[in-house]
């Protein structure tokens, strides 16, 4: 069995768990932080916009964004047949004008060049592809002036999880940046933030705009404690996490978001970090 077949089967098997995550306290907060931060960049565009979602899963983030902005074209690609079928089902109820969801290997799929205002690469997708050509794909797919939002699970998360579970071998692998298994059993490569920044700098027609954490504090607690805190302090926690996402010296969360942009001929110097 090829590695892509194995990954596809892994994600087929966790489709229910993937959907259930967004009903957990950390999942609700993750979705809120993700969409709030992305929406802040979408205000730079006039409606409607075009969106490519690489590793779209069940299109949860895109569907939430569609509640706030007009999306005239949405293209999604995922390696999992089960995820794609669920995405197509959910999108029937969305306000998006035109949708196309494909089941394909993300590493070899040919994306349309220069046709998207934003490219989403959420979840774990950047952790199991060869990151340099993957970033090149994002750059090519974006229109000049378009934004990409790339989520990466950094080694920080795996280091903490391995210590909590007393898994010394997993700790050593994560510390060294070797491949590890996510809690869903999917093999991942945990990146250092500085390494990802270096990869982005090497890509033609792509610039780093921002780096921020998603769900830094709540995810460090057992789920039972998360529920109690969320029930009692939801508004305060949302504000704290949004402020934390905008902190220039904190990159560590459930996931770390890299915001990139394809330069436009009309640019000044306001975009880069």
Are 102 and 204 members of one domain?
A: yes
Q: Is residue 134 part of a domain?
A: yes
Summarize pLDDT for 185-209 with one digit per residue, the tens. Answer: 566 666 777 888 888 999 989 999 9
Structure confidence at residue 124 as a pLDDT band (50, 70, 90):
low
Q: Note whether 114 and 51 are same-domain residues.
A: yes
Q: What domain range includes position 251?
A: 3-154+191-261
Q: Are residue 161 and residue 250 in the same domain, yes or no? A: no
Cβ 73 vs Cβ 143: under 8 Å: no
Q: What is the pLDDT of residue 11?
A: 67
Strand order in the sheet with 71-78: 99-103, 71-78, 49-54, 116-121, 142-152, 255-261, 207-214
Query: Does the residue 272 lie in any domain?
Result: no
Distances (CA, A) of 40 to 26, 43, 170, 259: 21, 6, 37, 12
Tell me, what CATH number does 15's domain have?
Answer: 3.40.50.150
- Mean pLDDT, the chain, rounded, equals 81
More confident residue, 194 or 104: 104
Say how many domains are in the chain.
2
CB 217 within 8 A of CB 253: no
> Residue 272, preceding bond cis, omega within 30 degrees?
no
Please tell me the predicted confidence (pLDDT) of residue 184: 54
Instruction: Give the distance, in angstroms, between the CA of residue 139 and the centroid of all CA atoms in the same chain.
Output: 16
Does residue 94 sit in the same domain as residue 183? no
Residues 103, 118, single domain; the answer is yes
CA distance 3 to 10: 11
Q: Tally Cβ neighbours within 10 Å of residue 241.
A: 23
Range with lowest mean pLDDT among 118-122, 130-134, 216-220, 237-241: 216-220
Q: Please report whether residue 267 resides in a domain.
A: no
User: In this model, does residue 1 exceed pLDDT 50?
Assistant: no
Same domain? For 112 and 168 the reply is no
């Amino acid at each position: 069995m090829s590695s892509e077949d194995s990954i596809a089967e892994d994600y087929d098997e966790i489709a229910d768990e993937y959907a259930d995550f967004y009903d957990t306290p950390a999942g609700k907060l993750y979705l809120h932080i993700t969409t709030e931060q992305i929406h802040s960049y979408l205000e730079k565009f006039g409606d409607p916009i075009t969106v490519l979602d690489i590793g779209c899963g069940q299109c949860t983030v895109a569907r939430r964004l569609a509640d706030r902005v007009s999306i005239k074209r949405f293209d999604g690609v995922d390696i999992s047949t089960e995820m794609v079928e669920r995405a197509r089902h959910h999108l029937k109820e969305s306000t998006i004008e035109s949708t196309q969801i494909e089941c394909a290997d993300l590493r070899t799929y040919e994306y349309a060049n220069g046709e998207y205002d934003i490219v989403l690469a959420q979840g774990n997708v950047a952790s199991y592809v060869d990151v340099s050509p993957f970033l090149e794909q994002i750059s090519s797919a974006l229109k000049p002036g378009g934004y990409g939002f790339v989520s990466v699970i950094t080694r920080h998360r795996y280091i903490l999880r391995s210590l909590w579970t007393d898994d010394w071998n997993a700790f050593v692998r994560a510390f060294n940046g070797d491949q590890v298994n996510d809690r869903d059993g999917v093999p991942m490569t945990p990146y250092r933030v500085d390494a990802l920044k270096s990869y982005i700098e090497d890509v033609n027609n792509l610039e780093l705009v921002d780096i921020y954490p998603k769900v830094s504090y709540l995810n460090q607690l057992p789920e039972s404690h998360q529920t109690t805190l969320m029930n009692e302090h939801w508004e305060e926690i949302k504000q704290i996490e949004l402020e934390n996402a905008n902190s220039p010296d904190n990159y560590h969360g459930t996931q770390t978001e890299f915001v990139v942009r394809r330069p436009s001929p009309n640019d000044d110097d306001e975009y880069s970090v």
